[in-house]
Amino acid sequence: MAVLDFAGTKENVITRDEFPLSKAQQVLKDEVVAVIGYGVQGPGQALNQRDNGINVIVGQRKNSKSWDKAVADGFVEGKDLFEIEEALQRGTIICYLLSDAAQIELWPLVKKYLTAGKALYFSHGFGITYNDQTGIVPPADVDVFLVAPKGSGTSLRRMFLQGRGLNSSYAIYQDATGKAFDRVIALGIAIGSGYLFETTFKKEVYSDLTGERGTLMGAIQGIFAAQFETLRKNGHSPSEAFNETVEELTQSLMPLVAENGMDWMYANCSTTAQRGALDWWKKFRDATLPVFDELYKSVAAGKEAAKSIESNSKSDYRVHLDEELKELRESEMWQAGKSVRNLRPENQAV
């Protein structure tokens, strides 16, 4: 285990050099890893484990789109693709990768098959942290841990196929067997993590819910919309407003920031851009800090969890979701984005 020291704050991380795939394969050689759910994280994690030689099976409702997707991905009914209940029975490690609302619904069945010595694996701390709302309380005689890739299942799979790894956090909630650490790290390596950093279930879900509502999705959309609107009302064309707001950031700048850091970006742009960015970034920080503080308090109080559970459990959730996504999709900014994306060289007919 490596220890990173960030100005006095020490973090435990596990790399693939310290815990190679061969060790993960040895740890998991007698396990049957049952991936329950084949939606957002399920495909990437299951396929990467399969390609890494792990005995993985998929549990999914038959005659569903997700079942058909698993078949299309090469999982075979009766061999490594089963109805959920049979997969739960066969699995020694249950990878519980359904949506948070679906996890609540299915929990009584899952708990039935969590016999002594098995392990319950999550990729999100939601169900355990907010168990006063979810009812997810595992038996005392099973291991409970998580590996949370810092990105979508699609990104996890793409990076795996490119020979790269997506960083993940890991946490152990319950070590009933004495093997929880080896099991969780082995799974983290098997799903294709670049490296794994230590956290807790509570910290994972607090940071995750804050990030999703903040810079990863909610805040970035809000900032995009505000800048686009300002440019448009001052006479800039939709194409110009979109390029200056979204396209340049996502296609040019962020990949370089990811590679080299923001200081490098500042040092390698025009002196005019340098001065403006250095003058204005703290103003944006100070303007948004109260919003982030409010957001974090809402997450920690369980309010965001309650909203999610209430909304996602409604029978007409998808109808309302489609309406909200339609508002985004049909906005001038994202209609301009569609046109701009179609003009990228890789999308042009040869």
Distance CA 296, CA 208 (A): 10
Residue 184 phi, psi (nearest 5): -70, -40
Distance from the Cα of residue 190 to its chain's centroid: 16
Q: Is 124 a catalytic residue?
A: yes
Beta carbons within 8 Å of 155's beta carbon, 6+ residues apart: 44, 149, 166
In the DSSP assignment, the letter for residue 97 is -
Cβ-in-10-Å burial (0-12, 13-18, 19+) of 33 comes to buried
Question: Looking up tokens 């209609």, which residue turns up?
Answer: 335
Dihedral of CA 184/185/187/193: which sign? positive
In the chain, where does DSSP find H-type helix?
Answer: 21-27, 42-51, 65-72, 84-90, 100-112, 126-129, 131-134, 153-161, 180-190, 201-213, 218-233, 238-242, 248, 254-260, 262-267, 271-300, 303-312, 317-329, 332-342
Marked catalytic residue, from 118, 124, 157, 213: 124
Cβ–Cβ under 8 Å, residues 76 and 98: no
Q: Is 18 exposed, middle or buried (0-12, 13-18, 19+ CB in 10 A)?
A: middle
CA 177/CA 175 separation, integer angstroms: 6
Residue 338 CA to residue 321 CA, distance in Å, equals: 20
Tokens of 19: 């815990």
Helix axes 271-300, 218-233, angle to 10 degrees: 130
Please count the other Cβ atoms lying within 10 Å of the Cβ belonging to residue 71: 15
Number of Cβ atoms within 10 Å of the Cβ of 156: 25
Active site residues: 124
